[in-house]
Amino acid sequence: MSLIGIIGGGVVGLSTGIELLQAGHRVALVDDDAAGQAASWGNAGHIAVEQVEPLASWAMVRSLPHRLFLRGGAASFPPGAVAEWLPFGLRLLSAGRPKRFATGCAAMAPLMDRALPAWSSLLHRIGAQDLLRSDGHLVLWNSAAAAQAGRRAWEGARTGPATVHPASGDDLSALSRICARPISGAVRFSGTAQIADLGALRHALRQAFVDLGGALVQEHASLQLQHGRVQVHGLEADKIIVCAGVRSGALMKAAGHKAPIIAERGYHVRADVTRWPRDLPPVVFEERAMIVTRYRQAVQAASFVEMNRPDAPADPRKWERLETHIAELGLPISGPFRRWMGCRPTLPDYLPAMGRSTRVPNLYYAFGHQHLGLTLAPVTGRLMASVIAGEAPDIPLGPFDIERFS
């Protein structure tokens, strides 16, 4: 039986590997993230099926000046990385045109419709159903003007299978108990979910992959193009799937593909979970672009969209800003804080890249999921299993073809 090699051991790579193993394939997964520091394991834990609308839009561009880090917002464009974010930004402007934005929404909708059922199915099959909490999430605003504008924006947005409605009296009471600042408004989303613990998820997926017969290869992978096919050094694989996050751009370039991916870096701080309510779902403090998530062993505050090089030093001001937000809001979160920074793999149109190469017959790819890697990992795995089997996926993958950047 031929071997399928997957490059990348994040949540997309592992989900894809499990689907392929359960379909009867031999699979080896090559990954050098031994400590589990990738964005898959440091994100907000939010299954964000409400985010049907790609962030690449002219409306987002118009709002950008008010979202800049220097003005108290979450968006950061370090001067030393201008060679990274300027060409990316120009492509984003093109992708944000109304017609392309509408096309992107139409492409994302069926993915979001299937995302939560795919998570439920995957976790049931590997015996980890307790890791999925389907309690929705809350969004709150402290100022009256922000509450009015925020409610109006969400009520007019495409939210896929999720629904938004005013927060209940119980919700408002719970939020008032954790936030010392007066709350002017809040909404609750139904139909969204969270992962109860990202560390436990990583362990469960890796264990399931091994139990199903998959091989984990802990080393750095590179692609070589030989005789019209790609190979990974030391791996005799018949087919290769690139699921390597921000590293995917360089890997695809070796096969002749252009993948203008950027490291959209996010930051979080984690602290003791004791004082945070056990039954509270993720809470978005929208004015501060911060989401707070309770995991089993920690409570986490996360934010920031920093367009940078993957290997650039972390910016301590981002962690300090998060800790300031916590203090100013009077949240029941106390240090010492554990700090993390990770790289979301983002393409200029904020759509993932998924499919089979039209240039190299044994090359496949699934990367560029930006903020939605956790959300879309299991449905991506299912789609890639169909592509590998030579079947027509039940969701058209044309909008996600990497050749759109050629």
Q: Per residue in 49-73, pLDDT tens?
A: 999 999 999 999 999 999 999 999 9
pLDDT tens string 135-171: 999 999 999 999 999 999 999 999 999 999 999 999 9
pLDDT of residue 234: 84
pLDDT of residue 11: 98
- Return the closest-CA partner of residue 48 out of 284, 341, 317, 271: 284
In the chain, the domains with their CATH numbers are 3-405 (3.50.50.60)
Question: Average of pLDDT values for 221-237?
Answer: 91
Total count of residues recorded for the chain: 406
Q: How far apart are CA 17 and CA 29, in angstroms?
A: 7
Distance of CA 350 to the CA centre of its chain: 11
Confidence check: pLDDT of 1 > 90: no
Give the number of other CB atoms < 10 A from CB of residue 279. Answer: 8
**What average pLDDT is seen over the chain?**
97
Q: How far apart are CA 8 and CA 31, in angstroms?
A: 5
Specify the DSSP element, H or E, that contains 119.
helix 98-125
Burial zone of 271 (CB within 10 Å; 0-12 exposed, 13-18 middle, 19+ buried) = buried
Cis peptide before 336 (omega within 30 of 0): yes
**Are 351 and 395 spatial neighbours (Cβ–Cβ below 8 Å)?**
no
Strand partners, 307: 264
Q: How far apart are CA 79 and CA 296, in angstroms?
A: 38
pLDDT of residue 355: 98
Question: Average of pLDDT values for 293-318?
Answer: 97
Confidence check: pLDDT of 308 > 90: yes
Confidence check: pLDDT of 127 > 90: yes
User: Using 50, 70 and 90 to split pLDDT, how confident is the model at 216?
Assistant: very high
User: Using 50, 70 and 90 to split pLDDT, how confident is the model at 75?
Assistant: very high
pLDDT of residue 160: 96
193: left (phi over 0), alpha (psi -120 to 50) or beta: beta
Question: Strand 353-356 vs strand 137-141: parallel, antiparallel, or unpaired?
Answer: unpaired
User: Using 50, 70 and 90 to split pLDDT, how confident is the model at 269?
Assistant: very high
**Are 287 and 328 spatial neighbours (Cβ–Cβ below 8 Å)?**
no
335: left (phi over 0), alpha (psi -120 to 50) or beta: beta
pLDDT of residue 233: 86
pLDDT of residue 124: 98
Q: How far apart are CA 96 and CA 50, in angstroms?
A: 19
* Per-position b or e across 372-383, b if 16+ CB within 10 A of its CB: bbbbbbbbbbbb
**Are 90 and 84 spatial neighbours (Cβ–Cβ below 8 Å)?**
no
Sign of dihedral through CA atoms 254, 88, 351, 107?
negative
Distances (CA, A) of 320 to 203, 269, 317: 30, 9, 5
- Where would I find the beta strands (DSSP E) of 83-149? 132-133, 137-141
Q: Is 313 helix (H, G, I), strand (E, B) or coil?
A: coil
| Token code pair at residue 51 | 């985010």
